[in-house]
Each structure stands twice: as structure tokens, then as C-alpha cells.
Structure 1
Amino acid sequence: MAKNTTDTATSADPYETLGVKKTATQAEIKKAYRKLVRTSHPDINPDDPGAEARFVKVSAAYDLLKDPETRARFDAGEIDASGQEKPQRQYYRDYADAQRSSRDSAGFDGSGFEGMDPQDIFAEMFRQRGGGGGQQTHGFSARGRDLGYTLEVPFLDAARGGSAHITLPGEGQIDLKIPVGLRDGQTLRLRGKGGEGLGGGPRGDAQVKIHVKPHPLFRREDDTILLTLPITLAEAVLGAKVTVPTIHGDVALSIPKGSSSGKVLRLRGRGVERKGKAGDQLVELRIVLPKTIDDKLAACIEDWAKTNSDDPRAAMLKGVPR
């Protein structure tokens, strides 16, 4: 269901959601987002009932701020925190003001509209057109105004292409084609589906701004798909071949022996396809320990630790004054 942009409530401030200042760089915004995803993704935090809600909120905030153009429009107050257009001034007054400016610059002085309110000019034109004043206004026409709407599209439909239904006032339900690789915040134009024209003028267009729903597994940066993949301790230590979801279906992925959390593996050509070229999917590994550490596992780790002196923090702490 399409929503008129003037009827949508404003969401929480995206800067506050990501915990960054309004002066933050794009790199700082991305870093904050990735950090929050690790603590809010429902698959990584299955025991946290609030994880999914936080994940959706964080993803929506990042979708708004990751695009410099969309971020600039939000900072300028042109769109709200949900990415929707803020109400514009009334069309008829704007048009009338433009007509007055044009008339004044041309030295117009015989219209009979001098000193009238701009909205009254249109009322007088229509009254004359209907014969009420005995004088016909010839040659006046204007294109109808464009109407703005928002439409939520599932993540996979935006990435792979598809179709959606949108209901417009006076038009009923219309089929809308979703092109492959559609991005959050893009606008689809339906020509001739906007406001009625004046004096026989053409209708305006319906401009449908797309909001891509967050996906519980996938994230997107340009044409690259990002996925955090939970793996077991055994898979990380010994290596394994596991099944990984992609936007095009499941594939097999080999996890190298001795993989650490944070290691990123690349699946080429498994991202979003645009202009005949497909992006990649990046898979970030995250080791998930079993919920219960039994005596056998604990004893095994204790024996191993006695003969192993690796310190993963050694390089980090080297040279830091104490």
C-alpha cells in the first residue's frame, strides 16, 4: 500500500540511533553501523528479545545516512528521518505567485485582477470560464501538479527485481515494475497519474519514493551484499564446508582452517546485478560458542592452553605507554 508523503510520521533521529554526531564522516557512520549490527543482529543474539527491533532501527538509520545526497537532503530539512518528503507549499498559491511575478515584470495592468489575493485569481478565472462574469478567459491552461507517495518494497524484490501493487486516489490499484538493483530512496515516476491539469492541461505525474525494507540476514552497500555468518568453534578451528544463503539461493562455502571471528570471505558474482554486471557477497565470520560449556570441552581447552603461549593482544599493546 502506498502512503502519501504528507501522512507519514517522522522516525527517530538517525544520528542518535547510530550514536554519531551530525558532523561525522561517511567512514565514521559506516563504522558505527557495523559495530551496532554485531550487537543487534537477531541471528547473532538469539537470546536477546529486543535485538530484531534494534537491528531494523539501526538499518533504517544507516540506509538514510549512507547516501551523501539523501543525508544532505535530511540535514537540509527536505526529508524526514524516515526518508519521506516533507510537505510542500500549496501548489495553487505557488502558481499564482509565479503568475503575479510574470505579470508585474511585463507591466501588466489591464487584467482586472490587480490587488487580488493570488488564490482569488484562480477563482475569478474559473468563474469567468463558466460564464459568471460574461467574459471568457481564453488560452489559460496548466499542467497538473506531481503527487508524492512512498512505497515499501521487500529487500529481495529491490535487489532482484519484481513487481508491486500501488493504490492511488482515483486510479485504483496499479501494477508497478520494480527494476533489478533498485536502491533505497530512489523515485519511480508514473507519468500522467498525478493531479488533474487546468484548462485542458496535461495531468501531472505520481512520484513514488521507494523505501526498501531491511532484511533479517542481508545488508547492502551499493551492489555488494553483506552477510554475517555464525560458525561453530569446531568449524573455525578445523575448517569446514558450510551452506550459505545468498540473494540468489544457497551456495557452498569453504571455511579455511583456523578462521577467526571477523574474517571476511568473498562470493564473487553473488551480489546485486546492475547494467549487466553483478556485485559480490561478503561473508563475515563470527564464532559462536555453544550455550553450555561442558566439562569435556573445558578440560580440552585447559590442556591446550598449558602448552600454547599465543597472545592475540601482543601486537595491539606493543608500544602503548603504561
Structure 2
Amino acid sequence: MASDDPYQTLGVSRTASPDEIRKAFRKIAKANHPDLNPGDQAAEARFKAANAAHELLSDPEKRARFDRGEIDASGQEMPPRGYYRDYAEGAQGARYRGGPGAEGPGGPFEAGGTTWSGGSFDPDDLEDILGMFRGGGRAQAGPRRGRDAQYRLAVDFLDAVNGATRRLTLPDGRDLDVRIPPGLEDGQVLRLRGRGSPGIQGGPDGDALIEVAVGNHPFYTREGRDILMELPVTVQEAVLGAKVPVPTPRGEVMLTIPPRSDAGTQMRLRGRGVAEAGGTAAGDLLVTLRLVLGPVDDRLAEFLRGWTPENPPDPRAEMRRRA
């Protein structure tokens, strides 16, 4: 899965829409999440590569800069095309030429008539090498941004739906208060600016990249912005109808069950699903009725023995048809 091209990593075209990029990332993340593939290093590598590609392509500015060749797949600055430097000390010269026609990194490095080739140079490493020729000793690197730090945070299902603030304890004992935005999805990465490794010689600090693992819920499941659940109802409630309390992610509400509702009937509670991040709109809660017989007393059993419905149902007709 690892690739120098984030489009190839996610398996999308260079003209892919933001929605196509998001869907491709979710597909890879669900199949390769470390929690679902414990000990599978290949799956973890694919997950991390997809996460890095999504991080870049989901940011319009970064995506545009990558498409123009200004940054690489990791977000690092690239030397401009036609990049050429000429350093001279007396009769000695030191030059860096990138690739054929002096375009981009990867070409030979020449100093005093000596040439090295075979691989590309990191621009920062190149500056150190050139500095040795300029100053006659070890280069003094300029300000450089600190490295990003990567962490994982387990988040409860309802916290991901409604939003919350959770504390993450780092390996060095420091605590980070992480704001969980409403509607967060499993596998997403939160970025905390300036909470990574310190910068070098006055450079900016790196960021903390927090990969979120959303836990399961005892009776809710998520489908996009909607939440699905099964609601147990008695025979009496299903036949005669009733108003019953239903727990939702944002509090209990009363649901009206129409008379003669069958098991499997689905009812919709609008706006009781997953909230949109940064907005007020929310999905729906889809409630499927599940019939619970419960204790059967002698009177019910006696009634059923003497009862013959006018139009007896055949609950197994569909099974026979498909057999």
C-alpha cells in the first residue's frame, strides 16, 4: 500500500472528488485497522499509508501544492524545478544538480570536480553537506520544524456521536486534552498543532497526530449519519399499540407504536442520529421492532388453542420460495 503517490495509495484518480477520496480512505481503514488485525504489521502499514495519503489529499491547499510538485507525499517541501546552486571557494566549486536537465532532486552532487550519484538527497541533508564545503566544518543547520508525534486514543461510541473532551496521557507523563468533534468516525486522525516534538534552533514545534479508535455500543450501530437499533416490544404492545420510552444518543424519548405492528417494522426518529461536525444537522435513529414473547400464562395458551384467524399467515412462505 505504501507509495510515493497518495492517489495510488488510496486507489483513486488524480481528479477524484473529496467524497471519493474520503470513501476510499474509509474502505481501506475499515479493512486494515490495527484493532481488527492485531499483530498484522502489513495491515498496519497499509492503514498508516492510507491515513497519511488522506491527511494530504483531504486538505485542499496541501493537495494543490502536491499536484504542483511543491511538496512530496509526506508534506515536505520539494526543491523547485530547475533548482541549481553554485558554491565556489577560490578555485573549488560545489554544485547540486537534480536529475536530467537540472530538474528536481536525484541527480549527481559535484564538489571540486568530484561527482557522487545513486539516489536522491534530502534537502536538509544536502544543506549540511554543502555547509561543510562553505564553512570548512560541520554545518550549522537553520531553524527546522519539529517532528510530528503519533498517538492512538480509544473513544466511546457516544462520545464520537455527540462530541466530548478526553484526556490522553503521553509516554513522558504529560497530559493532552483532546476535543472530540461530533460525528467523528473510526480511523480518523485529529491534529493538535504544536504539540509534537520541539522545533530545532527556533523552528516551530511539530504536531500531535491522534488516531481515533471508536468503540462498539451494546445496542447501537452506525450507518453513515444514521444510527440503527432494535427495540424489544411485547405481544400486547405490538397488537394493541403503545407509547414506549426509547433511549437515544441524546436522551430518552417516547415512541408511538401503531396497533398491529409486526416484528421487523422499522420506525424513524428524525434528528436523533449522528450530528454533522461543526453543524446542527443530524442523521436519524432507525428503530426496528423486535417481538419478545415473555412469560406465557395459562389464559393466553388456552385462548390460542381455540383461536383460528380468518386469514392465517404463512411466515415461512418466503423461505420455501427461496429454497
TM-score (norm 2): 0.61
Tell me the distance in 2 between the aligned counterparts of 1:235 and 1:169.
Answer: 54
The 5-angstrom pairing of residues 227-306 of structure 1 reads 227-274=229-276, 275-290=279-294, 292-304=295-307, 306=308
Report the CA distance between 1:244 and its aligned residue: 0.7
Report the CA distance between 1:81 and its aligned residue: 4.8
Report the CA distance between 1:245 and its aligned residue: 0.6
Q: RMSD over aligned Cα, in angstroms?
A: 4.1
Conserved 8 A contact 2:29-2:187: no
Please name the residue that 1:26 is paired with: none
1:136-183 CA-to-partner distances (Å, cap 9, x unmatched) read: 414455433322211111222211111110122447011111112222
Higher helix share: 1
1:30-87 CA-to-partner distances (Å, cap 9, x unmatched) read: xxxxxxxxxxxxxxxxxxxxxxxxxxxxxxxxxxxxx652322465x6x435389539
DSSP-derived class of the 2:176 partner: strand
Report the CA distance between 1:203 and its aligned residue: 2.5
Q: Which amino acid in 2 is paired with 1:241?
A: K
Instruction: Quote the sequence identity (%).
Output: 39
Q: Which has the higher contact order (CA 8 A, sep 6+)?
A: 1
Please name the residue that 1:51 is paired with: none
Please name the residue that 2:111 is paired with: 110
Q: Which amino acid in 1 is paired with 2:34?
A: D
Tell me the distance in 2 between the aligned counterparts of 1:217 and 1:162.
Answer: 20
Q: Which amino acid in 1 is paired with 2:109?
A: F
Tell me the distance in 2 between the aligned counterparts of 1:300 and 1:113.
Answer: 99
DSSP-derived class of the 1:260 partner: coil
Please name the residue that 2:148 is paired with: 146
TM-score (norm 1): 0.61
Tell me the distance in 1 between the aligned counterparts of 2:260 and 2:176.
Answer: 54
Larger radius of gyration: 2
Q: Which amino acid in 1 is paired with 2:45?
A: K
Tell me the distance in 2 between the aligned counterparts of 1:113 and 1:141.
Answer: 29
Tell me the distance in 1 between the aligned counterparts of 2:116 and 2:237.
Answer: 82
Matched residue count: 241
Which of the numbers 26, 34, 50 marks the counterpart of 1:70? 26
Q: 1:73 to 1:307 in 2, by over 3 A?
A: closer
The 5-angstrom pairing of residues 85-124 of structure 1 reads 85-86=44-45, 105=98, 107-110=108-111
Report the CA distance between 1:190 and its aligned residue: 0.8
Report the CA distance between 1:315 and its aligned residue: 6.0
1:224-274 CA-to-partner distances (Å, cap 9, x unmatched) read: 121210011111111111111111111111111111111011111222222
The 5-angstrom pairing of residues 32-51 of structure 1 reads none
Instruction: Flag structure 2 segments of 5+ consecutive residues without an equivalent.
Output: 1-22, 38-42, 50-73, 84-95, 103-107
